[in-house]
Amino acid sequence: MPRTMQDFTNPGAAKAAPGFPDAPPGWSPDQAREKAREMGLELNSDHWEAIRVIQGAYMDEAAPPLRRVHDALDARFSASGGMRHLYEIFNGGPVTRGCLLAGVKPPEGAVDEGFGWKA
């Protein structure tokens, strides 16, 4: 039985990277590691979990609203400080930087405080 709309519409498409069931087509953990190096980040388990949460937010909707991505991250990391924790580990921009690492376009209005630019 198809798990996602992508499975239904394109059953022969390449499968997602192991451990990342909602990854966009063509995305790989190696790409995320390279992009993280460019951003000056050393990925840890919280970064990887944030990537999974973001990819999950994009699974059913190509461009989810900023609030949906923000709230999904905040809820998942509530035990460790929520968005405050994520701003610390992503150096100021968990939604924008997280989306870039996850291989998806940041939502409209997402601002990366670490770089001071609008995505």
Domains of the chain: 28-118 (1.10.10.370)
Q: Distance (Å, rounded) from C-alpha 63 to C-alpha 66?
A: 9
Question: What is the average pLDDT across 97-106?
Answer: 95
As a whole number, the mean pLDDT across the chain is: 86
Report pLDDT digits (tens) over 64-85. Answer: 999 999 999 999 999 999 999 9
Highest mean pLDDT among 59-63, 101-105, 110-114 belongs to 101-105
Q: Which residues pair with 118 in a beta bridge?
A: 111
pLDDT band for position 8 (50/70/90)?
Answer: low
111 vs 96: which has the higher pLDDT: 96
Q: Which residues contact 102 (CB under 8 A, 6 or more apart)?
A: 23, 24, 27, 32, 51, 54, 55, 58
